[in-house]
Amino acid sequence: MAATRVLLVDDDVKLCRLIKDYLGPFGYDVAFAHTGQEGLTRALNSDCSAVILDVMLPGLSGVEVLKRLRASSGVPVLMLTARGEEADRISGLEAGADDYLPKTFSPRELLARLRAVLRRAGEAKQDRVISIANLAIDPGSRVAKIDGQALPLTPVEFDLLLALARARGRVKTREQLLHEASSREFEALDRSIDVHISSLRRKLGEDLRNPRWIQTIRAAGYMMPKP
């Protein structure tokens, strides 16, 4: 089988080599970029299946690289944060990261997270389009449209919308949504899911006083009501 191509954008040359050596035997072909601009250029002009992106980069920051990448690409992105602080995580998630990993990670955890984001990107390709009123969600192409106009959703936002649409009429807890949209371990007080839901609502054009698509169920989670 052909190796899965992964682009690693990090200015730590030694770390890049260590990650390449670790992932290689598991079927990953890891290419490097050591600056933000180089990483953006290579991500936009290569057929990589995923990008591992450091937040702290020379030139363009990792968050800025991600914002520009998301303007034209839905490639799965796993962000590396030096400190793992909440502000860093939220910045990456808001910019469109699929998952994040503090730089204290073990190689095994990196491999598990990488497999998870790639799995989610490849899931449900044969699913039928879900049509709810003027909203159409196509799991195969991973595109959601309202009145025929494609919504600029990040991969995680699309996964959340799809999960809520499939369960419409039933409440999904934050924990369930985190599992379905990111498959990562999370802290009990983690509210990154709320960041994604807020962004998703804006893109859906929701009236926050009377939401049509995503309702907040107090002390429970979120729900997409049945038509």
Q: Which CATH class is domain 4-122?
A: alpha beta
State in words which class domain 130-223 has. mainly alpha
Q: At what angle do helices 62-70 and 86-95 cross, to 10 degrees?
A: 20
Nearby residues of 153 by Cβ (< 8 Å), 6 or more positions away: 144, 161, 200, 203
Distance from C-alpha of 61 to C-alpha of 74, rounded to nearest angstrom: 19
In the chain, ranges of CATH 3.40.50.2300 domains: 4-122
For residue 19, which amino acid is it?
I
| Portions of the chain given CATH number 1.10.10.10 | 130-223
Which of 50, 37, 44, 45 is closest to 5 using CA atoms? 50
Is residue 10 within 8 A of residue 52, CB to CB? The reply is yes
Q: What is the pTM of this model?
A: 0.60
Reading the chain (227 residues) residue by residue, the pLDDT tens digits are 568 999 999 999 999 999 999 999 999 999 999 999 999 999 988 889 999 999 989 989 999 999 999 888 888 999 998 765 677 777 777 888 888 888 888 999 999 999 988 887 776 444 678 899 999 998 877 889 999 999 999 888 998 999 999 888 889 988 888 777 764 544 444 567 888 899 999 999 998 888 899 999 988 899 998 86
* Single-letter code of the amino acid located at 7: L
